[in-house]
Every structure is written in structure tokens, then in C-alpha cells.
Amino acid sequence: MMLFQKLVKRLLALVMTMLILMLVVFFGIIYYDGEETLQDEIIIDWDPETLVLNNPLAPKEVKEGYLLLSASSQYMGPLNKESKQRYSGNNLSCTNCHLNGGTMSGAASWIGIVDRFPQFGGRANKEGSLIDRINGCMERSMNGKAFPEDATQMKAMIAYMKWLDKGIPKLNSKNFKGYPKIEAPSFAVDMEKGRSIYTIECIVCHGQNGEGIRYNDTKKGYQYPPLWGSDTYNDGAGMNRVLTAAAFIKNNMPYLQASWENPKLTDEEAYHVAGYINSFPRPKKENKKMDYPDKKLKPVSTPYGPWTDNFSAKQHKYGPFPPIIDYYQKNFGLKKIK
Ligand code: HEC
Ligand code: HEC
């Protein structure tokens, strides 16, 4: 009898322990989810060697995707030995604009990007996939050509973007999509102010003629990417719009001195310098007339026509933008920010 009682006691103890364990696991999961939001507050340095390239937990395809995105010229551009592998037309890398491997908030981060597509895009006036969106940057920012839908490179780039959401710690204080918007000034770009800001804040890295600085190793692209001239984004790219470029610049440049939390330039300074860098010649995109089939959806600072308004080409390029923004608000009920 004693033995039986002991057994029952032990069994009870066992059941209790299991119950406690289950509760611990259950609340653990809930608490862990809460932890993830807390992790958003943690800032960890971007170190692609440990986080991606030498990370045993990162699949091979993810590493390949990262190389395509961060050393684009060698892996899919002019520096690739095989002409068939050349899709991008300049020596930029995707990560020259999508900083820190696409994890930087305030620099059109790729964190959460897979869940944001398919998405309506005015440029094509239809619901577009993530593949379409990447090809948009291929044809414009990279001044190259689109990948076929089923290209292994496309799959690898998207595998990397997907992996960002679970494979690495949150690297920024906020998961900010796009760019934090700037206030469009009530005046046009002042070229003299732009030039002077460029000389003080940008010239050391991007050069006297916006040509950037290449790596000593000729097998590699740019250490400091070019802003104008023949080897950079073309005139159909988002960065060629003054308001878009100003938003990028304010939150990210000068490099390592400015961030979204802690910008260096004011909205106005970013605006003048954006107008200045976009005043120089750059590669031309063909068929831009076909962009935005519904012309009223064209961002106000798109510098090429046709438009559905009577503002001059000069005003669409250099502002002032508030009158154009008001026009679309009044006539079409559209709230435009760029
Ligand atoms: C300390 C060097 C440095 C300074 C100063 C600097 N940049 Fe940059 N800039 C960079 C680097 C490096 C990148 C690419 C970032 C990367 O690949 O992680 C970049 C990228 C850019 C890009 C996007 C890529 C491209 O080629 O178009 C623009 C636009 C840009 N910078 C504009 C500016 C402007 C305007 C200023 C002055 C307000 C400025 N930068 C100051 C180093 C610098
Ligand atoms: C010269 C700068 C530049 C380069 C280089 C560049 N992009 Fe972009 N990208 C942009 C801009 C500007 C946007 C629009 C950001 C905005 O207005 O919110 C954008 C948007 C995107 C988006 C959509 C982001 C979102 O939140 O909706 C994706 C995805 C993307 N780019 C991928 C790429 C890939 C992949 C490459 C290389 C093949 C690349 N980009 C090269 C400037 C660039």
C-alpha cells in the first residue's frame, strides 16, 4: 500500500512538472513574440561577414543573393567575365542605395518587403510583383535590363530578402519602409546653395565631377559610388526625382554621419543638393513616355513628361512643388508626397 501511495505521489509530481513545463513553453512563446518587438530597439552593427557570408545558418542561395545585391557589378554587371551574365549596366551595387544589405531603416529597407508585395505601382499602372519591382530598379537605378521571371539570380535575391526577416537580428531601431518623407520647400532648388553644400559635405567621397571613387582592385566596383555621369542611375530612376533623392540624402548622407534618427542636413539643404546632383547629365532610359499610363499618378518631381498639368518641365524638375501638389489635391483628390 505504501508503495502504491508513493507511486501515485511520484506520478502526481510528474504530471505537475509536465504541466509547469508546458506553461513555461506556452508563456515562453508569447513572451518571445513580445521580445521580437523589443528587439526592434536594439541596434547591432551591420557585419555581412559574420551575419551572412560566414554564417553557417544562412543557406547557400541566400549567400548568393547577397553577393548579387552587394557586389552587383562582379556578379551581374559589367565586371562579370561572361557577357550573358551581365544584366546591370552600371557598376553600382543595389546596396549603394539600400544600405547595410537592405537592413537600414530610412534607406528603403528590404525588411518585411516580401509581405508588401504584390503591390499597386503607378509606373506600370497595375498590381506588380516583387520581381517586377526589382526589375524596375534593374532597368533604372542599375541602368540595365530586366531578369526573366524564373532567373536563378532573381530567386537568389528574393531568397536573401525573405531570409532577412527571420535569419538575422533586427538591425535598426525601427523597421522603416521607403524613406521618411521631407517637407517640400515652398521655393525652387537653388543651384548655388546646392553646389556649396556638395563641396562641403559630399565632394570628398563622390568627387569633383560626381564620378565617385573606385576600389584599387580593378575586379571590384566602387568604394564611393558615382552620382552623375555615364556610370550611375539613369534619368528614369527614382533617385533622379529631387524629392526622392532629397529624402534619401537627408536620412543617409553624408555617409556614416547621418541616419534617420540623426540626420545631418536639413530638409532644405538635402533638397538643394539633390537638385544639384540631378542637374548633370546621366544615362537615358528609353521609352519613358510609357511610364505612368495614368499620368495623374506620376510623382510631382518626375522630371520627364508628359504630365496632365500645365506646370513647366523646369518646375517638375526643380520645384517649387507645393503648387503642383495642391493642384492634384484640388482637381483629383490625390495626396502626393514626391
Ligand atoms: C564619407 C563618404 C561619403 C560622403 C561624405 C557622402 N557620401 Fe554619398 N555615399 C557614400 C557611400 C559609401 C555610398 C554607398 C553606401 C553603401 O554602399 O553602403 C553613398 C551613396 C550615395 C548615394 C546613392 C548611390 C548613388 O551612387 O547614387 C547618393 C545619391 C549619395 N551617396 C549622395 C551623397 C550626397 C548628396 C552627399 C553630400 C550631402 C554624400 N553622398 C556624402 C559615401 C559618402
Ligand atoms: C540609385 C539608387 C538605387 C539602386 C542602385 C537600387 N535601388 Fe532599389 N530603390 C531605389 C529607390 C529610390 C526606390 C524607391 C524608394 C521609395 O521611394 O520608397 C527603390 C525601391 C526598391 C524596392 C521597393 C522597396 C519598397 O519598400 O517598396 C525594391 C525591392 C528594390 N528597390 C530593390 C532593388 C534591387 C534588387 C536593386 C539592385 C538590382 C536596387 N533596388 C538598386 C533606389 C535604388
Instruction: Quote the CA–CA distance of 44 and 325 in Å, as a whole number.
Output: 39
Per-residue pLDDT at 6: 84
Examine the pLDDT at 40 and tell me if it is beyond 70.
no
pLDDT tens digits for range 77-103: 999 999 999 999 999 999 999 999 999
Task: Tell me which of 3-7, 85-89, 128-132, 292-296 is least confident.
Answer: 3-7
Nearest CA to ligand 2 atom 5: 94
User: Which ligand minimizes its atom distance to the CA of 195?
Assistant: 1
pLDDT tens digits for range 272-316: 999 999 999 999 999 999 999 999 999 999 999 999 999 999 999
Task: Tell me which of 45-49, 98-102, 243-247 is least confident.
Answer: 45-49
User: Which ligand minimizes its atom distance to the CA of 95?
Assistant: 1
pLDDT tens digits for range 8-18: 888 888 888 88
Nearest CA to ligand 1 atom 16: 96
Examine the pLDDT at 184 and tell me if it is beyond 60.
yes
Instruction: Quote the CATH superfamily of domain 191-332.
Output: Cytochrome c-like domain (1.10.760.10)
Closest ligand 1 atom to 273 CA: 35
CB 236 within 8 A of CB 314: no
User: Which ligand minimizes its atom distance to the CA of 246?
Assistant: 1
The better pLDDT of the pair 126, 309 is held by: 309
How far, in Å, from the CA of 1 to the mean position of ligand 1?
Answer: 82
Residues in the chain: 338
Instruction: Quote the CA–CA distance of 198 and 228 in Å, as a whole number.
Output: 13
DSSP conformational letter for 185:
P
Name the one residue in this structure whose C-alpha cell is 534593374: 138
Closest ligand 1 atom to 100 CA: 18
How far, in Å, from the CA of 103 to the mean position of ligand 1?
Answer: 17
Q: For residues 148, 154, 155 and 160, what is the CA-based torsion angle, rounded to 10 degrees?
A: -170
User: Which ligand minimizes its atom distance to the CA of 158?
Assistant: 2
Examine the pLDDT at 19 and tell me if it is beyond 90.
no
Distances from the Cα of 4 to the Cαs of 10, 14, 87, 230, 236, in angstroms?
10, 15, 77, 88, 83
pLDDT band at 258 (very low <50, low <70, confident <90, very high): very high
In this structure, what are the phi and psi dihedrals at residue 329, rounded to the nearest 5 degrees?
-65, -45
Helix (H, G, I), strand (E, B), or coil: what is residue 222?
Answer: strand
Alpha helices by DSSP H, the chain: 2-39, 48, 60-70, 72-76, 99-102, 130-139, 152-167, 191-201, 203-206, 242-252, 267-277, 313-318, 322-332
| Percent above pLDDT 90 for the chain | 79
Instruction: Quote the CA–CA distance of 304 and 118 in Å, as a whole number.
Output: 27
Per-residue pLDDT at 39: 43
How far, in Å, from the CA of 153 to the mean position of ligand 1?
Answer: 26
pTM of the model: 0.89
Instruction: Quote the CATH superfamily of domain 48-167.
Output: Cytochrome c-like domain (1.10.760.10)
pLDDT band at 167 (very low <50, low <70, confident <90, very high): confident
Across 148-177, average pLDDT: 89
Per-residue pLDDT at 35: 41
CB 57 within 8 A of CB 167: yes
Task: Tell me which of 30-44, 148-162, 186-200, 275-289 is least confident.
Answer: 30-44
Task: Tell me which of 7-16, 123-132, 234-243, 277-286 is least confident.
Answer: 7-16
Per-residue pLDDT at 37: 41
Closest ligand 1 atom to 203 CA: 5
pLDDT band at 36 (very low <50, low <70, confident <90, very high): very low
Task: Tell me which of 9-13, 62-66, 133-137, 330-334 is least confident.
Answer: 9-13
The mean of the pLDDT values for the chain is: 92
75: left (phi over 0), alpha (psi -120 to 50) or beta: alpha
How far, in Å, from the CA of 123 to the mean position of ligand 2?
Answer: 14
Q: How far from each other are the two terminal CA atoms of the chain, in whole angstroms?
A: 83
CB 94 within 8 A of CB 72: yes
Nearest CA to ligand 2 atom 8: 137
| Equal fold, 48-167 vs 191-332 | yes
- The domain segmentation of the chain, as residue ranges, is 48-167, 191-332
Q: Ligand 1: does its nearest atom lie under 6 Å from the Cβ of 254? A: yes
pLDDT band at 169 (very low <50, low <70, confident <90, very high): confident
